[in-house]
C-alpha cells in the first residue's frame, strides 16, 4: 500500500512529557505476538510495560535535568532531547555518555533509545558521503526527516541485525533471500522492503524504525543495501516479543519478587512484508560500497554507548553495599575490597567511553565520531566487567538470593511469621528490605534485567570477537615495533 511521507507525519503529535509518550503508543495498529497470542494493547501488558517505562524515563530526564538531557539543535533552532541530537562536538559525546550513565542509574536496565541516537549521526555523515560520490540527494532528505523528528520529539530505533541465515554465504547467495532485508519493488513513489530485523532493542516502543544494512555488501547485494525510516505501526510489520529470564514474574501479584518492578528492557523480532518506504524516507538504495563504512561508524558510536552499563554498575555497587549492611557484614575488610574492585571495573568502562568521546574526530559532513579504538575497548570491557561485578555482588549477597521463598510466603499467616523470624538480618533492618535488595541483585544478575546487564553487554553492538577484530585492525603493531627497535638499537638496513 502506498502512503505519502506527509500522510505518515500527520499521524504524529509533538511529545513533551512521559505521559504524551505513553499516549502516543496507545491505539496503534501494531501486530505483536507474545506467548502465542496477539497482544491487544502492548502498553497495558504487564510484561511489556516495564520496557515502556524505561523509555519514558528518557522524556522525564529531559524535564528534570535539561542541562544533561537536552541541547540546542541548530537544525530547528530550538532545544531538543539529546537522543535526537546530531553530534556536533566531542563535548556532545561526553554529555551523551553522562546522560546514558544517569539513565542506567535511574532504570537499572536498557532504556532502548541509543540505537536511534547513534543512527542519526551515522546517517548525517554517510548520506553526505554518498551524495558527494553519486550526486544523490539523500542528505537533504535525511535532514528534512530529522527536523520533523526533532520538532515532534519522537523515538527512533535502529533495526540493523538481519537473521543472516547461512553465515558462510553473502546476502545474495542465501537460499531464502529474505534472510537479509532487501528491496522487492521500486516505483516512482518509493521502495518496498521484505526481511526481518532480529534482537531489535525497543523496536515496539519506538515511533520510527530505521532499517539499515548489517554488514558489508558486494555488487551482487545492491538490493540489500537499503536504508529507510518506517513508522512502527506501518502495514506489513509483525513483532514477535523476545522472552526474558523470569519474565512471568511480571504477571504475579506484588512487586517484591519482580526485583525491579518498574523497569525492564525489550528485544523483538520484527518481520517486514513488502513494507513501503516513500522516497523522502529512503537514505540509501543500492550504494552497496557504503554499507561497510556505515556499519563501522554505527559500531563506533554504539560501542561507546555501552557506557550505559556503568549506570547499572553503579546500581550493582549500591545494592551490594546495601545488602552487606543489611546482613551486618559491611565492616568486613573483604567486603570493602570487593566494593572497591567492582567500582574499579565499572570506572574502567566509563573511562574508555569518555576517552573515546574526547578523542572524537570530525567527519566530512561536519559532525564528530568517537575514536574507534577506544570505543571498541569500551565495548570489550563491557563484554567482561559486568560479569565480574555481578559475581562479586552475588558473593556479597549470599545464597539467600537464590533460596529465598516467594513474596506470597512472606505474607502467609503461618509461613510469614516464620520467615520474618528466621530471615532477620541486622537488628533494625526490616526483613522486607533484605528481600527487596536481594531480589534486585537477582533481577540484574539472573532475572529480567540480566538480559540488559549481562547478555546484552556480551552481544549487543557486536559480540566480543567483533571488537577484537577492530582492535586487531587498529593496533598498528608495525609502528609500535619501530619504537622498540629504535630504542633497542636495531637497524635493519645493516642486515639487508
Ligand atoms: Fe542504550 Fe545501552 Fe540499551 Fe544499547 S544497551 S540501547 S546503549 S541502554
Ligand atoms: Fe544494543
Q: Which ligand is nearest to the CA of 462?
A: 2
User: Is 263 assigned a catalytic role?
Assistant: no
Q: Is pLDDT above 70 for 201?
A: yes
In a domain, 312, yes or no: yes
User: What confidence score (pLDDT) does residue 373 get?
Assistant: 97
User: What confidence score (pLDDT) does residue 496 get?
Assistant: 60
Beta bridge partners of 70: 81
Distances (CA, A) of 420 to 202, 290, 336, 404: 39, 63, 28, 12
- The 10s digit of each residue's pLDDT in 262-271 is 999 999 999 9
Catalytic-labelled residue, pool 281, 308, 378, 445: 308
User: Is 241 assigned a catalytic role?
Assistant: no
User: What confidence score (pLDDT) does residue 492 get?
Assistant: 80
Catalytic-labelled residue, pool 21, 70, 110, 214: 110
Taking the CA atoms of 441, 202, 156 and 383 in sequence, report the sign of the dihedral they define. positive
Question: Could you tell me the residue range of the domain that residue 466 belongs to?
Answer: 304-477
Q: Is pLDDT above 80 for 207?
A: yes
- Work out which ligand 1 atom sits closest to the CA atom of 457: 5
- The 10s digit of each residue's pLDDT in 370-383 is 999 999 999 999 99
Q: Which ligand is nearest to the CA of 107?
A: 1
Place of cell 519522537: 154
Q: Is pLDDT above 70 for 9?
A: yes
Task: Choose among 375, 367, 460, 356: nearest CA to 146.
Answer: 367
Q: Is pLDDT above 90 for 313?
A: yes
Catalytic-labelled residue, pool 161, 201, 299, 310: 201
The dihedral region occupied by 254, where left means phi > 0, alpha psi between -120 and 50, and beta the remainder, is left
Q: How much is the average pLDDT of 229-239?
A: 97
In a domain, 234, yes or no: no
Overall domain count for the chain = 1
- Ligand 1: centre distance to CA 479 (Å): 35
- For 464, the grid coordinates are 566480543
State the Cα–Cα distance between residues 224 and 213, nearest whole angstrom: 7
User: What confidence score (pLDDT) does residue 334 get?
Assistant: 98
Q: Is pLDDT above 80 for 415?
A: yes
Q: Are 369 and 363 contacting, i.e. CB atoms less than 8 angstroms apart?
A: yes
Percent of the chain with pLDDT over 90: 98
User: What confidence score (pLDDT) does residue 224 get?
Assistant: 98
Q: Choose the residue to mutate in 61, 96, 109, 115 for probing ligand 1, maximizing ligand atoms within 8 Å of C-beta.
A: 115
Q: Which ligand is nearest to the CA of 112?
A: 1
3-state secondary structure of 479: helix
Q: Is pLDDT above 90 for 231?
A: yes
Q: Is pLDDT above 70 for 307?
A: yes
Place of cell 553495599: 321
3-state secondary structure of 152: helix
The string of DSSP codes covering 341-390 is HHHHHHHHHHHHHHHHHHT-EE-TTS-EE--HHHHHHHHHHHTTHHHHHH
State the Cα–Cα distance between residues 467 and 299, nearest whole angstrom: 9
- Ligand 2: centre distance to CA 466 (Å): 14
Percent of the chain with pLDDT over 70: 99
Torsions phi, psi of 445, nearest 5?
-110, -15
Q: Choose the residue to mutate in 58, 349, 460 for probing ligand 1, maximizing ligand atoms within 8 Å of C-beta.
A: 460
State the Cα–Cα distance between residues 386 and 395, nearest whole angstrom: 14
Q: Is pLDDT above 70 for 69?
A: yes
Place of cell 499467616: 413
Q: Whose CA is nearest to atom 3 of ligand 1?
A: 110
- For 131, the grid coordinates are 551524495
Residue 297 makes CB contacts below 8 A (sequence gap 6+) with 121, 122, 125, 126, 363, 369
For the chain, helix, strand, coil in percent to 5 are 55, 15, 30
Q: Is pLDDT above 90 for 12?
A: yes
Q: Is pLDDT above 80 for 35?
A: yes
In a domain, 238, yes or no: no
Buried b (16+ CB within 10 A) or exposed e, 134-168: eebebbebbeebbebbbbbbbbbbbbbbbbebeee
Torsions phi, psi of 363, nearest 5?
-105, 170
Q: How confident is the model at residue 274 (pLDDT cuts 50, 70, 90)?
A: very high
In a domain, 88, yes or no: no
- The 10s digit of each residue's pLDDT in 446-455 is 999 999 999 9
Q: How confident is the model at residue 493 (pLDDT cuts 50, 70, 90)?
A: confident
User: What confidence score (pLDDT) does residue 159 get?
Assistant: 96
Beta bridge partners of 284: 227
Residue 115 burial by Cβ neighbours in a 10 Å radius (0-12, 13-18, 19+): buried
Residue 233 makes CB contacts below 8 A (sequence gap 6+) with 11, 28, 29, 30
Q: Choose the residue to mutate in 156, 201, 311, 386 for probing ligand 1, maximizing ligand atoms within 8 Å of C-beta.
A: 201
User: Is 445 assigned a catalytic role?
Assistant: no
Q: Is pLDDT above 90 for 204?
A: yes
Q: How many residues does the chain have?
A: 496
User: What confidence score (pLDDT) does residue 442 get?
Assistant: 98
- Work out which ligand 1 atom sits closest to the CA atom of 452: 5
In a domain, 93, yes or no: no
Q: Is pLDDT above 80 for 127?
A: yes
Q: Which ligand is nearest to the CA of 199?
A: 2
State the Cα–Cα distance between residues 445 and 449, nearest whole angstrom: 7
Q: How much is the average pLDDT of 182-190?
A: 97
- For 345, the grid coordinates are 571495573
- Ligand 2: centre distance to CA 251 (Å): 26
Q: How much is the average pLDDT of 89-96?
A: 98
User: What confidence score (pLDDT) does residue 1 get?
Assistant: 59
User: Is 210 assigned a catalytic role?
Assistant: no
Q: How confident is the model at residue 164 (pLDDT cuts 50, 70, 90)?
A: very high
- Work out which ligand 1 atom sits closest to the CA atom of 112: 6
Q: Are 246 and 447 contacting, i.e. CB atoms less than 8 angstroms apart?
A: yes
- The 10s digit of each residue's pLDDT in 37-67 is 999 999 999 999 999 999 999 999 999 999 9
User: What confidence score (pLDDT) does residue 298 get?
Assistant: 96
Spatial strand order of the sheet with 182-187 comes to 37-38, 31-34, 237-241, 267-278, 190-201, 182-187
In a domain, 430, yes or no: yes
User: What confidence score (pLDDT) does residue 2 get?
Assistant: 81
Q: Are 229 and 212 contacting, i.e. CB atoms less than 8 angstroms apart?
A: no
Share the mean pLDDT of the chain. Answer: 97
Q: How much is the average pLDDT of 180-209?
A: 97
CATH at 361: 1.20.140.10
- Ligand 2: centre distance to CA 145 (Å): 23
- Ligand 1: centre distance to CA 444 (Å): 15
Q: Could you tell me the pTM of the whole model?
A: 0.96
- Work out which ligand 1 atom sits closest to the CA atom of 111: 8
- Work out which ligand 1 atom sits closest to the CA atom of 115: 6
- For 475, the grid coordinates are 593496533
User: What confidence score (pLDDT) does residue 491 get?
Assistant: 87
- Ligand 1: centre distance to CA 423 (Å): 36
Ligand 1 pocket (Cβ < 6 Å) reads: 110-112, 114-115, 201, 305-306, 308, 456, 460
User: Is 267 assigned a catalytic role?
Assistant: yes
- Ligand 2: centre distance to CA 114 (Å): 7
| DSSP strand pairing (282-285 vs 226-231) | antiparallel
User: Is 308 assigned a catalytic role?
Assistant: yes
Amino acid at each position: 500500500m502506498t502512503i505519502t511521507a506527509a500522510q505518515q507525519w500527520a499521524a504524529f503529535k509533538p511529545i513533551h512529557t512521559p505521559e504524551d509518550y505513553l499516549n502516543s503508543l496507545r491505539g496503534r495498529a501494531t501486530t505483536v505476538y507474545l506467548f502465542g497470542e496477539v497482544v491487544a494493547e502492548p502498553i497495558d501488558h504487564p510484561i511489556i510495560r516495564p520496557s515502556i517505562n524505561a523509555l519514558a524515563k528518557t522524556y522525564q530526564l529531559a524535564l528534570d535535568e535539561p542541562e544533561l538531557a537536552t541541547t540546542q539543535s541548530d537544525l530547528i533552532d530550538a532545544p531538543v532531547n539529546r537522543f535526537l541530537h546530531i553530534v556536533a562536538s566531542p563535548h556532545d559525546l561526553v554529555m551523551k555518555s553522562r546522560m546514558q550513565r544517569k539513565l542506567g542509574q535511574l532504570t537499572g536496565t536498557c532504556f532502548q533509545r541509543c540505537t536511534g541516537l547513534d543512527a542519526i549521526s551515522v546517517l548525517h555523515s554517510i548520506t553526505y558521503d554518498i551524495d558527494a560520490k553519486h550526486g544523490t540527494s539523500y542528505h537533504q532528505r535525511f535532514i528534512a526527516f530529522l527536523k520533523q523528528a526533532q520538532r515532534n520529539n519522537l523515538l527512533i530505533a535502529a533495526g540493523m541485525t538481519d537473521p543472516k541465515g547461512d553465515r558462510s554465504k553473502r546476502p545474495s547467495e542465501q537460499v531464502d533471500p529474505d534472510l537479509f532485508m532487501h528491496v522487492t519493488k521500486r516505483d516512482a513513489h518509493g521502495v518496498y522492503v521484505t526481511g526481518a530485523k532480529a534482537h531489535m532493542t525497543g523496536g515496539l516502543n519506538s515511533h520510527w524504525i530505521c532499517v539499515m544494512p548489517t554488514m558489508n555488501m558486494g555488487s551482487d547485494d545492491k538490493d540489500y543495501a537499503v536504508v529507510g525510516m518506517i513508522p512502527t505501526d506501518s502495514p506489513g510489520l509483525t513483532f514477535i516479543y523476545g522472552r526474558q529470564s523470569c519474565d512471568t514474574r511480571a504477571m504475579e501479584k506484588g512487586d517484591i519478587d519482580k526485583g525491579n518492578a518498574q523497569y525492564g528492557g525489550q528485544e523483538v523480532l520484527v518481520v517486514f512484508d513488502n513494507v513501503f518506504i516513500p522516497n523522502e524516507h529512503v537514505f540509501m538504495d543500492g550504494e552497496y560500497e557504503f554499507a561497510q563504512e556505515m556499519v563501522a561508524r554505527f559500531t563506533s558510536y554504539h560501542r561507546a554507548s555501552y557506557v550505559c552499563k556503568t549506570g547499572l554498575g553503579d546500581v550493582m555497587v549500591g545494592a551490594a553495599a546495601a545488602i552487606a549492611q543489611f546482613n551486618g557484614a559491611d565492616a568486613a575488610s573483604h567486603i570493602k575490597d570487593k566494593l572497591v574492585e567492582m567500582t574499579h571495573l565499572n570506572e574502567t568502562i566509563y573511562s574508555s567511553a569518555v576517552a573515546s568521546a574526547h578523542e572524537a574526530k570530525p567527519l566530512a559532513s561536519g559532525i564528530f565520531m568517537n575514536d574507534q579504538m577506544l570505543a571498541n575497548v569500551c565495548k570489550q570491557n563491557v563484554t567482561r566487567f559486568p560479569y565480574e561485578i555481578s559475581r562479586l555482588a552475588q558473593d556479597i549477597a549470599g545464597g539467600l538470593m537464590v533460596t529465598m521463598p516467594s513474596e506470597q510466603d512472606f505474607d502467609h499467616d503461618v509461613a510469614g511469621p516464620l520467615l520474618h523470624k528466621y530471615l532477620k538480618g541486622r537488628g533494625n533492618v526490616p526483613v522486607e528490605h533484605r528481600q527487596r535488595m536481594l531480589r534486585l541483585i537477582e533481577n540484574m544478575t539472573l532475572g529480567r534485567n540480566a538480559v540488559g546487564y549481562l547478555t546484552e553487554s556480551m552481544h549487543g553492538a557486536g559480540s566480543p570477537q567483533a571488537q577484537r577484530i577492530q582492535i586487531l585492525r587498529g593496533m598498528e603493531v608495525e609502528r609500535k615495533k619501530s619504537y622498540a627497535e629504535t630504542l633497542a638499537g636495531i637497524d635493519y638496513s645493516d642486515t639487508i
